[in-house]
Structure 1
Amino acid sequence: MGTTGGSDMKTGFAKLQGEDFEYYMQTYSIMLGRNSKKSTVDVDLSGLGGGMNISRYHARIFYNFTRRRFTLKILGKNGYLVEGILHLSGTTPVKLDSQDLLQIGDK
């Protein structure tokens, strides 16, 4: 993530924030997972722990223009916890609200 116009201000449609990282969404769709020799993702979660519980393509956050909100599509086999509720691959995309807590689900 670079700065724009020599300023320290970062902008985007939404911000993902964790204890050790910040990511500003500057497109309407991003892929979360882990980078490998075969694939790259927008947000590499492998540095945050979780190891092999994180799929190469674990989830996609995208803006749903019909519903006018960001949603999370689960792609990885271990799913995601959104506000403590486990969502698995193949389920309906999860609506995201401001400050929702997202965690990799491994059980």
Structure 2
Amino acid sequence: MATQHTYRVIVRGKWDGLTPRSRTELLATMDDNDLAQLRFTPEGTLAYDRALHSFSYRFVIVSDAADGEEMAAALAEDKAEQALRAAGLGYRELRSTVTDMDSMKINRKSR
């Protein structure tokens, strides 16, 4: 059995071709998507700015360590694309930042 690693992935992008209705709906739910609500979850947490210029999704991805960070990024981007398409929201320029939580080094303060 392959070793599983937990990855935290931030998928960033820009809104593209939002309709007036989409803009109104996003602004109406903006308080539900502020930084205080931002968490890494398997289904993803969406945050965006009031100008509706850019957004980010935060995901927890569990996958085989052998597949590496590239696979975690691809899986998270796929999830973000599916969620955005399902909501009828246009986007462009997706890019990801991945942190492998299982290989992360924790620096402890010395006394």
Select the structure that is richer in helix.
2
| Larger relative contact order, structure 1 or 2 (CA cutoff 8 Å, min sep 6) | 2
Same fold, judged at TM 0.5 (above): no
TM score, norm. by length of structure 1:
0.24
TM score, norm. by length of structure 2:
0.23
